[in-house]
């Protein structure tokens, strides 16, 4: 349960601007790494005639993870005064985007690491763009390596203004810009005397002050139907609640189709009867009527059903070595639904280096495009902005996931989210 409660942050930034050093420093200064482990690393470094580099901490965790030595190294955690943080892996922007779009990871906030000496790099802009399309709008800037610019307030101000411009162009804002030194530990976990002109929080203080994540239970009910059983004259629907809550006696709607019914009984996966259940739980729902239901439908509240649409405008991220061609037909998977779909149009391929849109009829590996998809069968979905968990899907070619998308707009009206 504690795992679910951790606040997932992704650390992004130009290579060499200090991401690993910063994470190592966070782990070290918050006591996430046992002292014995640190001592061993310090010794190893000394044997090679080096000081302990904080980025080694992360590397050592990475090695254990790759070798499957410790289960807990499957993810990196650190603790603030207010909550626990899970550091999402962002080895590269392609992996980050892939994980976010396919649903493997969901960052609530991003720490953008910028080298104060180097300034805003090309990759910095690219990362900001990716954060913007994935609706990760809670951003804290770690203006790192301030020791390299003698903790100059003028340099800090210059970069703060420059960053605000880049962010503004993407409709993003930074909640905080924290001048710090990951290597020396200034303003990372403890406030430093090095910048008397800075009155804001340390990085961890800034993170602790971010608004709590919007819990999936606070969104409208979405329960993608996995299986349907008949029980005499009635139907039992089985599936995992993605968002929202469901309670006995509630009026629900099955989309697509729009048939309504009431919840007669609710069971938790193990067979335990419940009066309510929420996001993350797998349930069996007995309906009071013999309405037609099938796998792939989504159960929602009658008052706020998901939208039904054949045609969707999406941000598409392509993963396959074989490019995607305009007009191609593939399999679309959304929740438990699966249908054939055509890529009706690739409206624009986005050059993430220059942030310009280029008309194109194909999309290469790791490319991002705005595209229009047309599903053969209607789908029950939401826009990503309204409901990240039910506003994304994947494309499948020859039984392999070759693309991920987030839904930007639906052709059919009717969403009540
Ligand atoms: P990454 O590629 O973004 O993960 O960057 P690293 O964490 O590997 O850091 C790149 C280099 O910058 C390493 O040599 C670090 O020691 C150095 N570095 C990181 N943070 C600081 C800092 O606050 N001050 C100084 N002077 N060097 C730093």
87-111 pLDDT tens trace: 876 556 666 667 666 666 678 899 9
Torsion of CA 124, 11, 90, 87, to 10 degrees: -170
Averaged pLDDT, 158-164: 95
* pLDDT score of 134 more than 90: no
Q: How confident is the model at residue 45 (pLDDT cuts 50, 70, 90)?
A: confident
The half-sphere exposure of 65 on its side-chain side, counting CA atoms within 13 A, is 12
Q: Which residues line ligand 1 (CB under 6 A)?
A: 13, 15-21, 53, 55, 144-145, 147-148, 181-183
* pLDDT score of 301 more than 70: yes
Averaged pLDDT, 66-95: 68
* pLDDT score of 281 more than 50: yes
Q: What is the pLDDT of residue 103?
A: 64
User: DSSP class of residue 344?
Assistant: E
Query: How far away, in angstroms, is 183 Cα from ligand 1 center?
Result: 7
Selected residue with higher pLDDT from 119 and 98: 119
Averaged pLDDT, 154-181: 94
Query: How far away, in angstroms, is 113 Cα from ligand 1 center?
Result: 10
Q: What is the pLDDT of residue 373?
A: 97
| ipTM value | 0.99
- Express each pLDDT in 82-91 by its tens digit: 899 988 765 5
Return the number of other C-beta atoms located less than 10 Å from residue 265's C-beta.
17
Query: How far away, in angstroms, is 257 Cα from ligand 1 center?
Result: 55
Q: If you search the block for the tokens 């602790």, which residue do you land on?
A: 208
Averaged pLDDT, 157-173: 92
Distance CA 150, CA 2 (A): 41
Say what the pTM is. 0.78
Selected residue with higher pLDDT from 217 and 295: 295
């Amino acid at each position: 349960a504690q795992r679910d409660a951790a606040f997932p942050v992704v650390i992004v930034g130009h290579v060499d601007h200090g991401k690993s050093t910063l994470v190592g420093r966070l782990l070290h200064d918050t006591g996430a790494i046992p002292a014995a482990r640190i001592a061993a690393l310090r010794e190893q470094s000394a044997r090679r005639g080096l000081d302990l580099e904080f980025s080694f901490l992360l590397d050592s965790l990475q090695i254990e993870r790759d070798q499957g030595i410790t289960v807990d190294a499957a993810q990196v955690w650190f603790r603030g005064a207010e909550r626990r943080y899970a550091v999402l892996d962002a080895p590269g922007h392609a992996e980050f985007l892939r994980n976010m779009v396919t649903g493997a990871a969901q960052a609530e906030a991003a720490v953008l690491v910028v080298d104060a000496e180097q300034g805003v790099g090309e990759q910095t802009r690219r990362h900001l763009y990716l954060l913007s399309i994935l609706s990760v709008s809670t951003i804290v800037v770690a203006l790192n390596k301030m020791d390299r610019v003698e903790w100059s307030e003028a340099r800090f101000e210059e970069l703060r203004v420059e960053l605000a411009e880049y962010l503004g162009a993407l409709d993003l804002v930074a909640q905080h810009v924290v001048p710090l030194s990951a290597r020396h530990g200034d303003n990372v976990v403890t406030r430093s005397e090095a910048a008397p002109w800075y009155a804001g929080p340390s990085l961890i203080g800034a993170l602790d002050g971010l608004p709590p994540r919007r819990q999936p239970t606070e969104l409208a009910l979405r329960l993608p139907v996995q299986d349907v059983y008949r029980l005499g004259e009635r139907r039992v629907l089985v599936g995992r609640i993605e968002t929202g809550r469901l309670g006995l006696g509630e009026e629900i709607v099955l989309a697509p189709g729009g048939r309504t019914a009431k919840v007669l009984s609710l069971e938790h996966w193990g067979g335990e009867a419940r009066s309510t259940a929420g996001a993350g739980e797998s349930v069996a729902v007995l309906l009071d009527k013999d309405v037609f239901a099938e796998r792939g439908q989504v159960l929602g509240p009658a008052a706020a059903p998901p939208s039904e649409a054949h045609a969707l405008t999406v941000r598409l991220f392509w993963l396959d070595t074989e490019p995607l061609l305009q007009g191609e037909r593939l399999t679309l998977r959304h929740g438990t639904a699966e249908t054939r779909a055509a890529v009706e149009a690739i409206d624009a391929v986005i050059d993430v280096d220059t942030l310009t849109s280029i008309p194109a009829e194909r999309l290469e590996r790791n490319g991002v495009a705005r595209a229009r998809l047309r599903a053969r069968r209607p789908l029950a979905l939401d826009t990503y902005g309204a409901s990240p968990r039910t506003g994304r899907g994947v494309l499948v070619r020859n039984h392999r996931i070759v693309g991920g998308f987030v839904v930007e707009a639906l052709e059919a009206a009717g969403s009540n989210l």
